Amino acid sequence: MARELQIPVPGGVLHVWRKGPGPAVLVLHGGPGLSEYTEALVGELEDGFTVYRYQQRGLAPSTTSGPFDIETHVAHAEAVLDGIGVERAYIVGHSWGGYLAMHLAAHHPDRLLGLVGIDPLGAVPDGSEADLGRILAERISHEGAARALELDRRALAGEGTPEDALEGLAMVWPGYFSSPVDAPPMPALAISIQCNAGTFESIHEQFRLGTLQETLPQMRVPSVFLLGAASPIPPEHGMASAALIPGARYEVLDDCGHFVWLECPGSVRRALDSLTV
């Protein structure tokens, strides 16, 4: 059973789950603004690593209020490491969490033993946003695509309701998988419109500044990227991110979409093990 703890941060707390023995692995979930959903990944890692995952700011049981900028998200990841008493850890980030992991690695490389990016939002503008929206729309009906696009637009503008945003996500959910007709049911999720919109505003600013393009080439952290060949985030975005990091590797996984650990079980564990050799 996972152990739960609260880590204090300015203005509130972060809720952390801990499971397994061995070297520390910190998992960063995607979204932004989604509830933590990586519990299934823990089963792949927990027999050889102590896996920590936490609910990012914006949703309970963590603090729900902002700020929601990249600097705050990076500071929170570091605060979790401090709070669990871990000087250095392996960082595993999925989707937006992979993008966050790159910022953490670029600004605090001394805290990382290694980095695994799972089908991340790319470091090079626009990170895949346009491709992601286009491909997901192509994988559902024309009417559904129009409705999902409007709901997504409203969410990014900080408008609408969480229910609207979840409706849009449910509509495009099958498109995240290599075979949409065989996609598993969407898990029960919650979403913070404010966190999603605020974080994306900060992501766009970081793209404008070219932060990761400038900082990642200076980084010396063993890194590997797992990219789904059939993901709505085309692999070239992850490949471009890996190209910025000295010595980074990438693997494009056939018959695999965005949620790599669900469609290609064992791939994340193998990637992580490759960094421990």
Which residues are within 8 A (CB) of 154 and not within 5 positions of it... i.e. 6 or more apart? 160, 164, 165
pLDDT of residue 161: 86
pLDDT of residue 178: 97
CA distances from 228 to 55, 235, 238, 267 (A): 25, 7, 10, 11
pLDDT of residue 34: 97
- Judged against a pLDDT cut of 80, whether residue 148 lies above it is answered with no
Helix (H, G, I), strand (E, B) or coil at 93: strand
DSSP bridge pairs for 7:
14
Residue 75 pLDDT class (50, 70, 90 cuts):
very high
Report d(CA 233, CA 217) in Å as an integer. Answer: 23
The mean pLDDT value for 133-159 works out to 79
- Spell out the domain ranges in the chain: 3-125+191-276, 130-182
Write the single-letter amino acid at 84.
Answer: I
Tens of pLDDT, residues 83-118: 999 999 999 999 999 999 999 999 999 999 999 999
pLDDT of residue 158: 66
Tens of pLDDT, residues 31-50: 999 999 999 999 999 999 99
- Multiple choice CATH, 3-125+191-276, 3.40.50.1820, 3.30.413.10, 3.50.50.60, 4.10.780.10: 3.40.50.1820
Give the distance from CA 160 to its chain's centroid. Answer: 23
Tens of pLDDT, residues 151-178: 777 766 767 788 888 988 999 999 999 9
Q: What is the mean pLDDT of the chain?
A: 94
Cβ(155)–Cβ(168) under 8 Å? yes
Top pLDDT among 166 and 144 is at: 166
Cβ(7)–Cβ(83) under 8 Å? yes
Q: Is 90 exposed, middle or buried (0-12, 13-18, 19+ CB in 10 A)?
A: buried
Q: Is 155 exposed, middle or buried (0-12, 13-18, 19+ CB in 10 A)?
A: buried
Cβ(70)–Cβ(203) under 8 Å? yes
pLDDT of residue 128: 96
**pTM for the structure as a whole:** 0.95
